[in-house]
Amino acid sequence: MVLAMLSAAIMVAAFETSQSKATTEVTLTPQEKQLVANFNRRVKDYLKQRATAKKKVPPISTEATPEQIEAYQQAFVAALRGIRAGTKPGYIFIPQFTEYVRTIINTEFPPRDKAEIKQTILEADTKGVPLRVNYPYPETKELTEMPPTLLLKLPQLPKEVKYRFVGRHLLLVDTDNSLIVDYTLNALP
Protein backbone atom coordinates (compact mmCIF):
# COMPACT_ATOMS: atom_id res chain seq x y z
CA MET A 1 0.00 0.00 0.00
CA VAL A 2 2.75 2.46 0.96
CA LEU A 3 4.73 1.46 -2.11
CA ALA A 4 1.70 2.06 -4.35
CA MET A 5 1.10 5.51 -2.81
CA LEU A 6 4.79 6.41 -3.18
CA SER A 7 4.77 5.23 -6.79
CA ALA A 8 1.65 7.31 -7.52
CA ALA A 9 3.21 10.40 -5.90
CA ILE A 10 6.36 9.99 -8.00
CA MET A 11 4.27 9.69 -11.17
CA VAL A 12 2.27 12.82 -10.31
CA ALA A 13 5.46 14.77 -9.55
CA ALA A 14 7.03 13.63 -12.82
CA PHE A 15 3.91 14.65 -14.75
CA GLU A 16 3.78 18.08 -13.07
CA THR A 17 7.49 18.63 -13.77
CA SER A 18 7.07 17.72 -17.44
CA GLN A 19 4.02 19.97 -17.70
CA SER A 20 5.81 22.95 -16.11
CA LYS A 21 8.78 22.42 -18.43
CA ALA A 22 6.47 22.30 -21.42
CA THR A 23 4.91 25.64 -20.51
CA THR A 24 8.16 27.45 -19.76
CA GLU A 25 10.49 26.05 -22.42
CA VAL A 26 10.46 27.95 -25.65
CA THR A 27 10.90 25.84 -28.75
CA LEU A 28 13.16 27.80 -31.04
CA THR A 29 13.46 27.62 -34.78
CA PRO A 30 17.00 27.40 -36.19
CA GLN A 31 16.80 31.11 -37.05
CA GLU A 32 15.70 31.99 -33.49
CA LYS A 33 18.49 29.83 -32.03
CA GLN A 34 20.97 31.79 -34.14
CA LEU A 35 19.42 35.09 -33.02
CA VAL A 36 19.61 34.09 -29.33
CA ALA A 37 23.21 32.87 -29.79
CA ASN A 38 24.09 36.24 -31.37
CA PHE A 39 22.39 38.05 -28.46
CA ASN A 40 24.32 35.93 -25.93
CA ARG A 41 27.59 36.65 -27.75
CA ARG A 42 26.92 40.39 -27.57
CA VAL A 43 26.14 40.16 -23.84
CA LYS A 44 29.43 38.27 -23.33
CA ASP A 45 31.23 41.03 -25.26
CA TYR A 46 29.83 43.53 -22.77
CA LEU A 47 30.98 41.36 -19.87
CA LYS A 48 34.51 41.36 -21.34
CA GLN A 49 34.41 45.16 -21.57
CA ARG A 50 33.19 45.25 -17.98
CA ALA A 51 36.03 42.99 -16.81
CA THR A 52 38.57 45.16 -18.64
CA ALA A 53 37.18 48.28 -16.96
CA LYS A 54 37.29 46.60 -13.55
CA LYS A 55 40.98 45.78 -14.03
CA LYS A 56 41.71 49.46 -14.63
CA VAL A 57 40.33 50.44 -11.23
CA PRO A 58 42.36 49.75 -8.10
CA PRO A 59 40.68 47.10 -5.95
CA ILE A 60 38.73 48.18 -2.92
CA SER A 61 39.31 46.94 0.61
CA THR A 62 36.69 44.88 2.41
CA GLU A 63 36.92 47.49 5.16
CA ALA A 64 36.29 50.44 2.83
CA THR A 65 34.29 53.42 4.02
CA PRO A 66 31.11 54.46 2.23
CA GLU A 67 33.06 57.31 0.62
CA GLN A 68 35.70 54.90 -0.69
CA ILE A 69 33.02 52.58 -2.03
CA GLU A 70 31.35 55.51 -3.80
CA ALA A 71 34.69 56.63 -5.27
CA TYR A 72 35.38 53.08 -6.46
CA GLN A 73 31.95 52.85 -8.11
CA GLN A 74 32.45 56.19 -9.86
CA ALA A 75 35.90 55.16 -11.10
CA PHE A 76 34.53 51.82 -12.32
CA VAL A 77 31.67 53.53 -14.21
CA ALA A 78 34.08 56.10 -15.69
CA ALA A 79 36.41 53.34 -16.90
CA LEU A 80 33.49 51.38 -18.35
CA ARG A 81 32.07 54.44 -20.08
CA GLY A 82 35.51 55.16 -21.51
CA ILE A 83 35.82 51.67 -22.96
CA ARG A 84 32.29 51.86 -24.35
CA ALA A 85 32.57 55.42 -25.70
CA GLY A 86 30.72 55.66 -28.97
CA THR A 87 28.49 52.65 -28.29
CA LYS A 88 25.12 53.25 -29.87
CA PRO A 89 21.70 51.79 -29.06
CA GLY A 90 21.22 48.45 -30.74
CA TYR A 91 24.68 47.10 -29.91
CA ILE A 92 23.05 44.21 -28.04
CA PHE A 93 19.36 44.67 -28.82
CA ILE A 94 19.56 44.41 -32.59
CA PRO A 95 16.25 45.06 -34.44
CA GLN A 96 15.66 41.34 -35.04
CA PHE A 97 15.93 40.70 -31.30
CA THR A 98 13.37 43.41 -30.56
CA GLU A 99 11.02 41.79 -33.07
CA TYR A 100 11.68 38.43 -31.39
CA VAL A 101 10.64 39.89 -28.00
CA ARG A 102 7.45 41.34 -29.52
CA THR A 103 6.67 38.01 -31.15
CA ILE A 104 7.15 36.15 -27.86
CA ILE A 105 4.75 38.50 -26.09
CA ASN A 106 2.18 38.30 -28.90
CA THR A 107 2.29 34.55 -29.51
CA GLU A 108 3.34 32.89 -26.27
CA PHE A 109 0.82 34.51 -23.95
CA PRO A 110 -2.97 34.38 -23.93
CA PRO A 111 -4.71 37.79 -24.08
CA ARG A 112 -5.33 37.92 -20.32
CA ASP A 113 -1.64 37.28 -19.53
CA LYS A 114 -0.54 39.88 -22.10
CA ALA A 115 -2.82 42.42 -20.43
CA GLU A 116 -1.33 41.61 -17.01
CA ILE A 117 2.23 41.90 -18.34
CA LYS A 118 1.46 45.28 -19.90
CA GLN A 119 -0.28 46.51 -16.76
CA THR A 120 2.66 45.47 -14.55
CA ILE A 121 5.16 47.18 -16.83
CA LEU A 122 3.22 50.35 -17.57
CA GLU A 123 2.20 50.98 -13.92
CA ALA A 124 5.78 51.61 -12.82
CA ASP A 125 6.99 55.17 -12.27
CA THR A 126 9.74 55.29 -14.88
CA LYS A 127 9.04 58.69 -16.42
CA GLY A 128 12.24 60.65 -16.78
CA VAL A 129 14.54 57.64 -17.11
CA PRO A 130 17.00 58.59 -19.84
CA LEU A 131 17.05 56.25 -22.80
CA ARG A 132 20.77 56.62 -23.34
CA VAL A 133 23.50 54.03 -23.53
CA ASN A 134 26.20 54.44 -20.86
CA TYR A 135 24.02 56.62 -18.64
CA PRO A 136 22.97 55.58 -15.16
CA TYR A 137 19.46 54.41 -14.41
CA PRO A 138 18.31 57.03 -11.85
CA GLU A 139 18.28 55.77 -8.28
CA THR A 140 15.08 57.72 -7.63
CA LYS A 141 13.13 55.87 -10.30
CA GLU A 142 11.29 52.62 -9.82
CA LEU A 143 12.98 49.51 -11.17
CA THR A 144 10.35 47.64 -13.13
CA GLU A 145 10.74 43.98 -12.41
CA MET A 146 10.21 41.73 -15.36
CA PRO A 147 7.06 39.63 -15.06
CA PRO A 148 8.32 36.09 -14.31
CA THR A 149 6.26 34.56 -17.11
CA LEU A 150 7.98 36.81 -19.64
CA LEU A 151 11.40 36.40 -18.07
CA LEU A 152 11.15 32.63 -18.51
CA LYS A 153 10.63 33.08 -22.26
CA LEU A 154 13.57 35.46 -22.85
CA PRO A 155 17.23 34.40 -23.05
CA GLN A 156 18.68 34.03 -19.57
CA LEU A 157 21.14 36.71 -18.57
CA PRO A 158 24.26 36.48 -16.44
CA LYS A 159 23.96 37.96 -12.95
CA GLU A 160 25.84 41.13 -14.00
CA VAL A 161 22.96 42.43 -16.13
CA LYS A 162 19.16 42.53 -15.98
CA TYR A 163 16.26 43.32 -18.27
CA ARG A 164 14.21 46.38 -17.33
CA PHE A 165 11.25 48.05 -18.96
CA VAL A 166 10.78 51.80 -19.11
CA GLY A 167 7.30 52.21 -20.50
CA ARG A 168 7.26 50.13 -23.69
CA HIS A 169 11.05 50.24 -24.06
CA LEU A 170 13.33 47.39 -23.02
CA LEU A 171 16.64 48.14 -21.32
CA LEU A 172 19.64 46.05 -20.36
CA VAL A 173 21.03 47.43 -17.09
CA ASP A 174 24.23 46.57 -15.22
CA THR A 175 23.28 45.21 -11.80
CA ASP A 176 26.32 46.58 -9.96
CA ASN A 177 26.34 50.18 -11.15
CA SER A 178 22.91 50.72 -12.79
CA LEU A 179 24.54 51.68 -16.07
CA ILE A 180 22.22 51.39 -19.07
CA VAL A 181 24.10 48.93 -21.27
CA ASP A 182 21.64 49.06 -24.16
CA TYR A 183 17.99 49.74 -24.93
CA THR A 184 15.45 49.17 -27.65
CA LEU A 185 12.34 51.16 -28.37
CA ASN A 186 8.82 49.73 -28.32
CA ALA A 187 9.69 46.18 -27.37
CA LEU A 188 6.33 45.91 -25.62
CA PRO A 189 3.69 45.60 -28.34
pLDDT band per the 50, 70, 90 thresholds, residue 189: confident
Domain hosting 165: range is 30-184
Is residue 12 a part of any domain in this protein? no
Is residue 21 a part of any domain in this protein? no
Is residue 22 a part of any domain in this protein? no
Residue 168's closest CA among 138, 123, 134?
A: 123
pLDDT score for 4: 38
Is residue 125 a part of any domain in this protein? yes
Number of structural domains the chain divides into: 1
Is residue 81 a part of any domain in this protein? yes
Is residue 85 a part of any domain in this protein? yes
Is residue 20 a part of any domain in this protein? no
Which tens digit of pLDDT belongs to each residue from 7-20? Answer: 434 443 443 444 44
pTM: 0.80
Is residue 11 a part of any domain in this protein? no
Which tens digit of pLDDT belongs to each residue from 90-128? Answer: 999 999 999 999 988 888 888 888 888 888 888 888 888
pLDDT surpasses 50 at 5: no
Give the three-state DSSP class for 162. Answer: strand
Better-predicted residue by pLDDT, 121 or 161: 161
Rg over CA atoms, the chain:
20
Question: CA torsion, points 104, 107, 108, 114, in degrees to nearest 10?
Answer: 90
